[in-house]
Structure 1
Amino acid sequence: MRTPVSDPMRIGPYRIVGRLGSGGMGWVYLGRSPSGREVAVKVVRPELAAEGEFRERFAREVAAARVVSGAYTAAVVDADTEAELPWLATLYVPGPSLAEAVRADGPLPEPQVRRLGAGLVEALQAIHAARVVHRDLKPANVLLASDGPRVIDFGISRVDGAPGLTQVGVVVGTPPFMSPEQIRGATVGPPSDVFSLGGVLVYALTGRPPHGSGEAVRYRVAFEEPELDGITGPMRELIARCLAKRPEDRPRLDRLMAGLLEQEPREAVWPPPTVAHSIAARTQDLVKRRKQSTSVSVPSCLLSHARALLDAGLTDAMVTEAVVRGGA
């Protein structure tokens, strides 16, 4: 996996403030527009940018994300799919992903999970209204904001009516949160996202996917019943319907919304206290960054450069030499 020797200072019109994360597809940076608006900028890795099919897939992601609008999705503000390294900018959400929140502090209480589920249903309603199927709804693609969740990453979404790049029988997605039809490589529609939503809710309540993980997860998703221990009452029944093997047996989103809100106690507060703490810390960090001058201090630059060199696999001695040379 290639890593840049140093992070870019600017992508398109956006000044790069810091790196938010990285993955197999590329890097995500915190950027700032000329007017000071924070954005998350996803940049494709060079080896993938050199592949024509991947560039086309990335262009499809941008197109899918642009047609979706809703309170619980992260809005696309800019993109350049023709750049040497294609990039996509969305509004920055200063909150952890559901995966991060559960890993750090454990499962969420049921009242908050009902609020979370209602927000995700509303997000899927907006996505499906735009004739898009997300196909990769999972805890890592759900950001927890102060006013509710945000669904992100339309990398393998499918726009209804648009020719697909995925060949018949080829499986794409994240197996523990994929639907049985997706596991089989069959055509998927909105009910597939409902199945994935059921899996996300199980994860939020228990800290694990409903069919586990590992090599056998594909078989369990396709043929075995989900593990719902620890989930009781109407919530268990609702999730079980979402995880039905046959797409036609899963609830419509409007009925799912009604079921989630029917049992929601009035005292259900969003965000949960631990998530609120994480959001506050990220927001404070943003405030500090805004107060900094537009030019980054030399020590900060050198520290960032050192981290990037270490990421690239260079030795401590080589890093020290580079940092000293840079500060000379």
Structure 2
Amino acid sequence: MAPNALGVVEASFARTKDHHTQWICLSAPNGRFFVSAEIAKPYRTPEILKNRRGSISRTLGRVPTAVVISGYVGVPVDEDYVFSRNLGQMKNLAGKRILLIGCGTVGGFLAQQLAQSGAGAHGGKLLLVDDDTLQGANLGRHLLGAPYLTWNKAEACADFLRLQLPHLDIGSSPTSITKQIDILGRYDICVDATGEEALSIALNEHAVRRRPDFPPMLYVWIEGNGAAAVGFMAHDPERACFKCLKVDLAGQKRFRLLRDGVEVEAGRNLACGDAHYIPFPVSRAASAAGLACDMVLDWSNGDERHRWRSIAMDHRRAIEIKDGNPDLIVRCPACGNEPT
């Protein structure tokens, strides 16, 4: 069927280090066939493999058990298949430049979900930014485990994801975003998953001063002890900015998700290096990341109908609030004086 194949196969064996095992791909008009050929141990002698190389096929052909041939079926793992298979008619995040700030409890899971949605594929870029390190106290609800202890969280998440999905261009920065805030304008969308209100306000003010020529800013955080998750995307000058959600720093939030009388429980364990933390289950962090990933995917597909979204995860403590597009507040110190 293929007279030239014999010589090619023999030559391929000659190039191997051990001279007795070879992977072979035969490409023919009727298909592509993957096999491994392994010469049985009794026939791996220098006499056969070197001195009688010209007659090796005849020698091995007389003994059916001299060569073990195993067939294999290939499966697609290319970028187009891997990152589009689960999305149906939706566009994935391939080709987009995405900046994720915060690779902690929520950000770690979000980084993985963005990567699995194609962020960093086909010329795109996923940059992870965090200046914190992974500690033992984080292991109970973080994407990463013990092998990454004492690593910088951004560098650890990037390393983990590159191992799982080598197709992608994933970068990391261990420097605080406040020291490199100008990089925000280089991306198609920026995500703040830190859950730190003061930082979110600073990022919002930076974005508001430069819009509309500035990428969308998506903020995601958890309310209370995992009672609810919130995602909010700000971009349109005619709509609310992040500061519009709480105009007065010490005032009430625009959308009150926690029920009356619900207090936030805080933990403290100085002996273990936990000076202050908010306890909630790992499931709540994964749900918040899922909410944010859905919003990024909708943005990528041109759907920005609901820029403020929430998920009530503990109905004893949280209230269901309808998703929507909140208007700006005229007295907002960040965007209220902007022309509309």
Q: TM-score range by the shorter chain?
A: under 0.3
Instruction: Using structure 2 for the length normalisation, give the TM-score.
Output: 0.21
Going by fraction, where is helix more abundant, 1 or 2?
Answer: 1
Which one has more relative contact order, counting CA pairs under 8 Å at least 6 apart? Answer: 1
* Structure with bigger gyration radius: 2
Going by fraction, where is strand more abundant, 1 or 2?
Answer: 2
Instruction: Using structure 1 for the length normalisation, give the TM-score.
Output: 0.22
